Structure 1
Amino acid sequence: MNNDCPPYPILLAEDDLISRRLCQKILAREGFAVTTVANGREALELFRQRFFPIVLTDWQMPEMEGPELCRAIRDENPNRYVFIVMLTSKGSKGDIISGLEAGADDYITKPAHPAELVARIRTGIRILELERSLKAAVDEIHLMSILDSLTGLYNRGYINERLPQEIRRAHRYVRDLSLVLCDIDHFKKVNDTYGHLVGDVVLKSFARCLAGSIRQEVDWAGRYGGEEFLIVLPETHLHGALVLTERIRRTLESTPIETDNKAIGITSSFGVVCFSPGTCKEAITPEALLQEADNLLYRAKSEGRNRIEAGRLTS
């Protein structure tokens, strides 16, 4: 077996002891890790505890036969592909079709020929590799669809999709939710003075500052539009949101952004809004929360910029 390939542990379900040991010996000799059980029920119980990408199962077994095991594995793992090979002494076309329709990918007539058995398993590995590559490509495409191409933060479409989910979760668990809407002060002047390429450097640096200031896997940030950015802080009360926002404001104020030509100092204005589901008379909408954050941001800019305005939304 190619040692460069990722490991693919095999689950072998076979009630006949001689056949089970023979198959295990053949596969182990080729470098495969094989776990054996004596019937389909044991196989399913073990599979529920530990994922096996390859399952080799006899057709006729006590307690649970091969076709039933195939169907159970397919039903319980819709998002993870398993390559299933049926071992069978049934040779009719009808039996073979029945096994494939139950969820098997391939079959081997017993007694298994060593070379054929290994070849079938290697075929399965090629299919699993293709499936893994396809999934990685799909995941990459999905990631590209929800990220802003310039800053690497979430884009407006993702914000519109996820924010309602965060609000519903806050209502369900009666936990505070805070939003921070921020805007780079006088960003148009940066573009007009230094050009849009430098402006892009500023935007990317600003985004890195936001991403590096929030809790990973809990908080999240997105580009709301132009030079406006949104930070969403689940399970965070107003005081906690203000502490975080002030830390970001001071970091931006005191850390010039290095560009090819010169270091550029920037500041930002912030609107911070929090809502506590336990005190709200009715469900809060994403539009209401964003509008209040926008109102507070506008106030911060009107009051001189490089400052924070905060408030609570109660209805």
Structure 2
Amino acid sequence: MRILIVEDSLTQAVDLRRRLEGLGHEVVVAHDGREAWERLEKRPEGLVISDWMMPEMSGLELCRKIRSEIKSPYVYLILLTAKTHRHERLQGLQAGADDFLGKPIDNVELDVALRSARRILDAQEALEARARELERANQALASQATTDEPSGLKNAIGFRHSLVAAFRQALDDGLPLSLIEIELIPSGAPESTPSADWNTLARRCGEILRSEARSCDEPGRLGERRFGLIVPGLADDEALMVGDALRSRFEDEVATLVSSATYAGVASMSSGEPPESAESLTAACEVALLSARREAASRIALVHCSSSVQAASLVGP
């Protein structure tokens, strides 16, 4: 183990260091509590053996500071003391000490204390490793729960979370925000385009969206044949141009393979009179998509979404 000795007596520090190194441990020495704390701030040690009575900062003060400010990794604290009264030991335990060694230090007691420290530190290390493993597993599960596997994009749940976050960010920054949705509507009977084909094509759709998106944009797959793109910082005409470029690529590279027509809806909000919620932007985009489908010649529509007005305007290809 690597052990920090905190001892203001040079003679006792040298003696304890010699004993610990003789047992195969790596040892560093601080000559008072303040020096020890400065070392621990830079590199927390697993085991600290500290004298109780010291200038600058006592062993009790050092214990309290370690327990209040170092949460991980765990620091095992042994106090060196001639204090033997019960209330004094209780005071040390309340400050955060794990164990005590009387002065002068007995070799057998030292060996037992070190073995106890090793067991606790090993158990603590195993717990922390398990906690890290569980955290990674939880993150992986959370990612799976919000990711569409075929396309590699956010699924409807993950996309909605991203939209809510983008909506709040747009309000905080006073910037516009747009939502684009692309939908492929089969020209023939639904059974003529089996799900397996759409899952394969979803990968291509994901590639298109990622290639067209900026680093700040967020693409997603909202349904089997519907895809979305959150576009921060763009409103109305600029967002409409992005939406029409996406619709054209979907039309050329995907829709022809499965006999589908491609429609796009764009909902845009400005900083001047934003809607009440991200759900309002979603509803406005749905209106735009329906408008685009009614006007088959254009296949794209824009809805400006505000707190008081939702006006749809059709834009030709």
Q: TM-score, normalised by structure 2?
A: 0.68
The structure with the larger Rg is 2
Q: How far did 1:152 drift?
A: 3.6
Counterpart residue type for residue 267 of structure 2? V
Q: How far did 1:136 drift?
A: 0.9
Taking the TM superposition and a 5 Å limit, the aligned residue runs for 1:160-175 are: 160-175=160-175
1:270 aligned residue (256, 264, 273) = 264
Q: How far did 1:13 drift?
A: 7.8
Q: Deviations over 1:130-172 (max 9, x none)?
A: 2211111121222223233544432333344443332222122
Counterpart residue type for residue 249 of structure 1? R
Counterpart residue type for residue 300 of structure 2? I
Distance 1:36 1:303 in 2: 81
Structure 2 match to 1:228 = 226
Q: Point out where structure 2 has 5 or more consecutive residues left out of the alignment.
A: 308-317
Task: Give the conservation status (yes or no) of the 8 Å contact 1:184–1:268.
Answer: yes
Q: How far did 1:226 drift?
A: 3.6
Q: Deviations over 1:185-235 (max 9, x none)?
A: 32875x52242211221233323432343234x322333334222221223
Distance 2:93 2:62 in 1: 14
Distance 2:101 2:153 in 1: 54
Counterpart residue type for residue 222 of structure 2? Y
Counterpart residue type for residue 287 of structure 2? N
SS in 1 for 2:153: coil
Counterpart residue type for residue 207 of structure 1? G
Q: Check if 1:143 corresponds to 2:143.
A: yes
Q: In the superposition, relative to structure 1, how do residues 166 and 188 fare at CA in structure 2: closer, same or farther (>3 Å)?
A: farther
Distance 1:287 1:245 in 2: 20
Taking the TM superposition and a 5 Å limit, the aligned residue runs for 1:9-24 are: 12=4, 14=6, 16=8, 18=13, 22=17
Counterpart residue type for residue 250 of structure 1? S
Structure 2 match to 1:67 = 64
SS in 1 for 2:306: coil
Counterpart residue type for residue 158 of structure 1? G
Q: Check if 1:211 corresponds to 2:210.
A: yes
Distance 1:72 1:187 in 2: 65
Q: In the superposition, relative to structure 1, how do residues 256 and 276 fare at CA in structure 2: closer, same or farther (>3 Å)?
A: closer
Matched residues, number? 286
1:254 aligned residue (252, 255, 279) = 252
Counterpart residue type for residue 246 of structure 2? I
Q: In the superposition, relative to structure 1, how do residues 98 and 313 fare at CA in structure 2: closer, same or farther (>3 Å)?
A: farther
**For the aligned residues, what is the CA RMSD?**
4.4
Q: In the superposition, relative to structure 1, how do residues 88 and 157 fare at CA in structure 2: closer, same or farther (>3 Å)?
A: same
Q: In the superposition, relative to structure 1, how do residues 120 and 198 fare at CA in structure 2: closer, same or farther (>3 Å)?
A: same
SS in 2 for 1:296: helix
Q: How far did 1:37 drift?
A: 6.4
Structure 2 match to 1:301 = 293
SS in 2 for 1:89: strand
Distance 1:84 1:118 in 2: 11
Distance 1:268 1:168 in 2: 30
Q: In the superposition, relative to structure 1, how do residues 37 and 305 fare at CA in structure 2: closer, same or farther (>3 Å)?
A: farther
Counterpart residue type for residue 227 of structure 1? R
Q: Deviations over 1:222-271 (max 9, x none)?
A: 333342222212233344433433443333333359xxxx9657663211
Taking the TM superposition and a 5 Å limit, the aligned residue runs for 1:1-315 are: 12=4, 14=6, 16=8, 18=13, 22=17, 55-58=46-49, 60=52, 62-63=56-57, 64-74=61-71, 81-89=72-80, 113=111, 116=115, 121-186=121-186, 189=189, 192-216=191-215, 218-256=216-254, 268-277=262-271, 279-280=272-273, 283-304=275-296, 307-315=299-307
Q: Point out where structure 1 has 5 or more consecutive residues left out of the alignment.
A: 2-9, 75-80
Q: TM-score, normalised by structure 1?
A: 0.68
Q: Deviations over 1:90-122 (max 9, x none)?
A: 689988887777678x65858765974666554
Percent of pairs with identical residues = 19
Task: Give the conservation status (yes or no) of the 8 Å contact 1:268–1:305.
Answer: no
Q: In the superposition, relative to structure 1, how do residues 185 and 130 fare at CA in structure 2: closer, same or farther (>3 Å)?
A: same
Q: In the superposition, relative to structure 1, how do residues 264 and 163 fare at CA in structure 2: closer, same or farther (>3 Å)?
A: closer
Q: How far did 1:11 drift?
A: 9.5
Q: Deviations over 1:17-46 (max 9, x none)?
A: 7379949x95xx78x9x9986666667677
